[in-house]
Every structure is written in C-alpha cells, then in structure tokens.
Amino acid sequence: MEKPEKRGMIDTWLDKHRSLYTAATRHDFVVSIRDGSVDLSSFKTWLGQDYLFVRGFVPFVANVLIRACKESGVTSDMEVVLGGLASLNDEIEWFKSEGSKWSVDFSTVVAQKANQEYRRFLEAMMSSEVEYSVVMTAFWAIEAVYQESFAHCLEEGNKTPAELTGACNRWGNDGFKQYCLSVKSIAERCLENASGEALAEAEDVLVRVLEHEVAFWEMSRGGQ
C-alpha cells in the first residue's frame, strides 16, 4: 500500500485559495479548448501574447538557476531548473512554428496590459531581496498552472480540436507533470525552513501568480 503524499505548505495554501486556483486552471478559455468551442481568434491572441511572455520568462528562470546554484545547497535543484531553462529554447522554436502555422506575425504583436503586468511581476521576483523559497514558490505556480490547465484538455472525453492538441501536449504531457512535481518538491523543502515573514510572502506571491494567470486567460478571450 502506497504511503499518502506528504502535504506541505503549498497544498495548504491551495486548499485555502481553491476557488482562485480553479479559476486559473479551469478558466473558460481552457474549458473552451477542451470542449471544442474555442474561438480560434482567441487562441491566436493567446499565442502571440504568450510568445512575448515566454521571452520575458527566460531571464526569470535564468535568475532562478543562479539562485539555485548559489543558495540551495542541494545540487539537484540546479539540475531541475537547468532542465526547465533548456526546454525554453525548444518552446520558443515551437511558438515560432505555431506562429507561422496560424499566420501570427510576432514582430507586430504588442504586449497587452495583463501581459505587461505579469512580466513586471517576474522582474520584481528577480530582486536579490526576494527569498529563494519565495522565488521557487512563484516558479512552481507559473509552471503548474499551465501543466494542469492543458492536461485537462487531454483528459478522457475531451473534444479538443486536433490542430490544438500540439499546444495541449506541450504542457499537458506526463514529463512536464513530473518536472512540475520536482519544482514543487524544491519549493516545499525550502518552505519548511522559511521564516514566518518569508512564508507570508510566499503565500502572497502564490496568490498573485494565480491572479496574473486568470488575467492572462481573460486577455486571450478579448479582455485587457
């Protein structure tokens, strides 16, 4: 009989903020992909905006890598983050391929308000004054929302359009799920030894990531 998975601070916070987490991972935009009703113009908007976001996400992950090397004291942290950073090169190439496929010229895409605010948040997270445990919590949340959202689009009974399954597989695959679990494990380990002040900040950052994710989905559907 398998031992039940140990619950940490992140799980406690997700229980506390369940409605917001659900709003981020089961947003109407995501559900519309799964049930096949998605407006393809919304998908194109998401594609262009997320391409810009990923380019801003790269320096954030690079900063996480530097922090992992200098501050974690556990060599496997660096290896996990390095794997995530390396995969972003393939991700950018995938976006370029999808942009060509959907006739989205990224050179003409202008970051909308929700995108700008999310990227400013990432820049703030790169400050050396932000605790490593807080940074890792943010990193996990950003990755986990996409993993759970797009995995939902691949679950049994889905009517996801064939031309969108590539996007869903990119973040919804089991390998990415295992990667997210590894990042979560790092964050949870760091939070075990965090100060009360750092724990409060980490919870706040988790909530802010979820709010940014909801706003990003809303933007894709035609909001700002």
Active site residues: 213
For residues 95 and 97, what is the distance between their CA atoms, to the nearest angstrom?
5
Place of tokens 């919804």: 172
Characterise 4 by phi-psi region: left (phi > 0), alpha (psi -120 to 50), beta (else): beta
Using alpha carbons, select from 114, 143, 74 the residue that is nearest to residue 217: 114
DSSP code at position 121: H
Contacts of 135 (CB under 8 A, 6+ apart): 63, 64, 67, 125
Using alpha carbons, select from 93, 96, 122, 98 the residue that is nearest to residue 107: 96
Q: Which residues of 120-137 are buried (b: 16+ CB within 10 A; e: fewer)?
A: ebbeebeeeebbbbbbbb
**How far lies 91's CA from each of 41, 97, 115, 134, in Å?**
21, 10, 18, 25
